[in-house]
Amino acid sequence: MMVNLYPLKELKLPIVAECINPDIFQGKKPAEIEKLEVWEGNKQKKLGELFKAEIAETEDASENTVVVIHGDISRVKRIGAGMKNGEIIIKGDAGMHLGEEMKGGKIAVYGNVLGWAGSMMKGGTIEIHGNAGDYLGAPYRGSTEGMKGGKIIVHGNVGREAGAHMHKGIVKIYGCAGQFAGFRMHGGTIYVQKDCEARTGACMVEGTIVVSGRIESVMPSFTIEGVKKKVKIEEGEVVETPFYLFLGDLTENGRGKLYVAKDKNPHLSHYEKYL
């Protein structure tokens, strides 16, 4: 079953629409989908007041529901929150809290995404073909329950605190990452293919961060352990170039691993005298 959603107007007010979810759309007719409740600003409305729903027949015999959203929905929050199955395809930009606490299924965005994408997710896959905002995969401020599973792939750049409080799962960023990537990380893997701003891995306890580009600096609470010829990101993906391996954060008695590409970071060569 494939459900197409088309915005009926330019969306200017913040919209909270956790009902846009394959689990909730499953088995419903367009009229039933359009009756689902959302918030536009401080007013409760029906989804059909903001979107037109159409069901397209597919040759796929599986029972999974695919939701395709056409257009800019950067004002729409909590799409796919808690979803367990199915797929969401967004052909445009998406709003905050996309896939929050997601447990399964897949979300693909052909545009940019605002903050807290994949916040506290436990399973499934989010693939963003543009840029992502701050707090990718991170929990709300004050919470320590970060990402516990699943995979987030970003083909562009991400903001601050990507993977903060992460326990399990993998975050792959093929662009650059902002400050505090992997802040208070407890497990899992973060891979940044390009450059990384300062304070990467601050207060991390366990887990792995790999930076293939230039890193602004390595925190003084990390100690150099050695040089590795290559690093495995996940099954089927290995980066073959020399990496400095740092351990930390020692202020937290941390055993986290921070791999930094040697060739891209000549300003770190002074660490070699400690090996």
Note the maximum CA span of the chain: 69
Structural domain including 10 reads: 1-114
144 shares a domain with 106: no
Q: Find how far residue 56's CA is from the centre of its chain.
A: 29
214 shares a domain with 225: yes
Q: Is the pLDDT of residue 59 over 80?
A: no
Please give the structure tokens belonging to residue 252.
């937290």
For residue range 8-30, what is the model confidence (pLDDT) as tens digits? 999 999 999 999 999 999 999 99
DSSP 93-106: -B-TTTTTT--SSE
Cα–Cα distance, 12 to 158 (Å, whole number): 24
Number of domains in the chain: 2
Cα–Cα distance, 272 to 51 (Å, whole number): 59
145 shares a domain with 79: no
More confident residue, 232 or 60: 232
Show which of 94, 114, 134 is a domain's final residue.
Answer: 114
Q: How many residues does the chain have?
A: 275
Please give the structure tokens belonging to residue 147.
């990402």
For residue range 78-97, what is the model confidence (pLDDT) as tens digits? 999 999 999 999 999 999 99
- Whole-model pTM: value is 0.96
Cα–Cα distance, 191 to 51 (Å, whole number): 37
Residue that has been written with the tokens 């089927």 in this structure: 236
163 shares a domain with 107: no
CB 216 within 8 A of CB 235: no
For residue range 223-259, what is the model confidence (pLDDT) as tens digits? 999 999 999 999 999 999 999 999 999 999 999 999 9
